[in-house]
Structure 1
Amino acid sequence: MSLINPNWNDLKIFLEVARCGTLGGAARRIRCDQSTISRHINRLEEAINAPVFERDNQGLHITARGQALLEYVEAMEANVVALGELLGGSHKEPSGTVRVGTMEGIASMYLAGEFVAFSQRFPKISVELVTTTQQMHVNQREADVFLSFFPPEGKSLDVVPIGQFPLHLFASPDYLAKHGAPQELTDLLDHQFASYVDDLIQLDTVRWLEEVIARPKISFQSSSMIAQLFASVAGAGIVMLPSFAKAERFGLVRVLDAHVRVNRTIWMTVHRDLQYLPRIKAVTRHLQDTISRDFPLP
């Protein structure tokens, strides 16, 4: 049986095309023309004697053979990165860029401030805090670390729970003075709420208000948790917010605190092949220490 030995440059370009989903996207990312990208893909397919992409009017779709190849190429890439950092010297201070992906609320209202101390401790590590309304795929290198309120699924992932936060109902004093403070959960039927736009919700884990009241009267809707908070501050109605939002600093007060028991677990996802790199390990350790300090698991 003859040995198949594909060119490494072809494999790297295949990896970028698989991640971008288009030749044009890959060309922009690695700054070359589409014809060059196409030649590399064609040469790879000739080398393995099988197509790695199917092409139709909607674009490129990775084949089963391509998907199997992708897993090996990702592992090769991770090992090359790890080797480069090892040869750089483990005695050196951790350096490089780490992209952390998570939801807007926890990023803006909690993690952004917590990374200030991290940057002072590790000045050579550049943290990119990316917000998203959906899952970021660590195994496709959309992020190095992903924090979510659900455990993502996928191959070659290390997924661990690192904390659990409660959620509370809040309202402004002006709203409560005008509409009265609810004393029982059934009283919520007579109140107005700020919440998410239902058909724009991409992660069911943020449907936390539904765990308290089935059909709330919505007076303000936004895909942004921060917008909901400030609408409630202005008197739009009651809003359900995670404790990490620290809504009290904006003048909101808790409502029915003894009656509401809603929690979410924070899950951290890292690619197994990268989790022990010094820069990645520094960030994940900081996240684990910070979140477990403020929102420990039960």
Structure 2
Amino acid sequence: MFDWNDLTFFLELARHGRLMPAARRLKVDNTTVSRRIAELERDLDTKLFQRCSDGFLLTEAGHKLFVVAEGIEQKMLSVPDLLGLPDGAEPAGRVRVASMEGIAAFYLSAKFAELAAATPGLVVELVTERHLINLTKREADISVSFVPPQGPRLRVRRAGEFRLALFASERYLTARGSPRTRGDLNDHDFVDYVDDLVAIEPVHWLLEVLKPANVVFRSTSMAAQQTAVASGAGIALLPLFSAKTNPALVPVLPDEIVVRRKLYLSVHEDIEHVGRVRAVTRFLSDLFIREAGYLNAF
């Protein structure tokens, strides 16, 4: 019979894929992790990891054990809630939040810094991808997205919304003139996404305003687009939460061009009541309500 405690070592190595970060999380040295994994494989008489130059990859048996071990972990973490016991301590541990690059870099990262200061035992890992992270496969614990993700046993709720507007730099507007009407936009240069690399169509928000005749710069990165606009490249449709961070950006036709996107907060029902996950979802829910004005008004 194997040692149940070895499952903790197994889970951390499976999640990180390398000895050093797993050991750091467990507050032990690399050799301890390696030894405990070897003992678990010996006790189970099966190979759980494929050792390679990049680290450790789960074998077929390892994938099967990962599903079981993670289920055991979540049930253990939810015991206080299932028994109706009061929270005995501040939430602690790692919570992985997935979101889009723009809102992660220009808004959420600063807010999570506030959360870290208030709850030092909580570590948020903010993951950004152009596509939606799969919560069902546990690629993340929580998702903040512009479209509701699909998947079995997901708790998805609308948590708020944000506004987008056209922005340019004073340098650009001085050189080219400020548009006075929507029709004037046809004579201007634009910054936009790369058409064939847009993974989530609602992110290609400029098309809701117009199909620009002259795009002078494209990028898959919203941060890169904003930097280009601030440098005088042209006009772009940007979220207020990001544009407000750069004083070089000036609104263009703010009363006429109004675009909004909803914010969805999602979590898998298996972990929604785990203390650390619940603390982050509550923080995000309260944040989007409290800062609705910042997200939607100039």
Shorter-chain TM band = 0.7 to 0.9
* Cα deviation digits, residues 222-251 of structure 1 (max 9, x gap): 111111111111110001111111436432
* Cα deviation digits, residues 6-35 of structure 1 (max 9, x gap): x989x9999999999xxxx69999899xxx
Equivalent residue number for residue 120 of structure 2: 124
Equivalent residue number for residue 244 of structure 2: 247
What TM-score does the superposition give when structure 2 sets the normalisation length?
Answer: 0.74
Verify the 8 A CA contact 2:94 2:122 in the aligned structure 1.
yes
List gaps (5 residues or longer) in structure 2.
23-29, 32-36, 47-56
* Cα deviation digits, residues 40-79 of structure 1 (max 9, x gap): 99xx9x9xxxxxxxxxxxxx9xx9xxx9999877544421
Equivalent residue number for residue 261 of structure 1: 258
Verify the 8 A CA contact 1:19 1:140 in the aligned structure 2.
no
What's the % identity of the aligned pairs?
A: 39
Answer yes or no: is 1:233 the counterpart of 2:246. no
Equivalent residue number for residue 188 of structure 1: 185
Q: Which amino acid aligns with 1:234?
A: S
Q: What value does the CA root-mean-square deviation take over the aligned residues?
A: 4.1
Out of 117, 139, 145, the residue aligned to residue 142 of structure 1 is: 139
Q: Which amino acid aligns with 2:76?
A: V
Equivalent residue number for residue 129 of structure 2: 133
Out of 273, 277, 280, the residue aligned to residue 276 of structure 1 is: 273
SS in 1 for 2:136: helix
C-alpha separation between the residues in 1 aligned to 2:8 and 2:90? 28
Verify the 8 A CA contact 1:103 1:133 in the aligned structure 2.
yes
Equivalent residue number for residue 96 of structure 1: 93
Using the TM superposition, give the Cα deviation of residue 275 of structure 1 relative to its aligned residue in structure 2, in angstroms.
Answer: 1.2
* Cα deviation digits, residues 149-189 of structure 1 (max 9, x gap): 01001112111111100100000111111111112212111
C-alpha separation between the residues in 2 aligned to 1:69 and 1:275? 22
Verify the 8 A CA contact 2:206 2:237 in the aligned structure 1.
yes
Answer yes or no: is 1:168 the counterpart of 2:165. yes
List gaps (5 residues or longer) in structure 1.
1-6, 47-59
SS in 2 for 1:140: coil
* Cα deviation digits, residues 177-236 of structure 1 (max 9, x gap): 111111221211111111112222211121100000124421111111111111111110
Using the TM superposition, give the Cα deviation of residue 84 of structure 1 relative to its aligned residue in structure 2, in angstroms.
Answer: 8.4
For these two proteins, the number of residue pairs brought into alignment is 279
What TM-score does the superposition give when structure 1 sets the normalisation length?
Answer: 0.74
Q: 1:15 to 1:286 in 2, by over 3 A?
A: closer
Using the TM superposition, give the Cα deviation of residue 90 of structure 1 relative to its aligned residue in structure 2, in angstroms.
Answer: 2.7
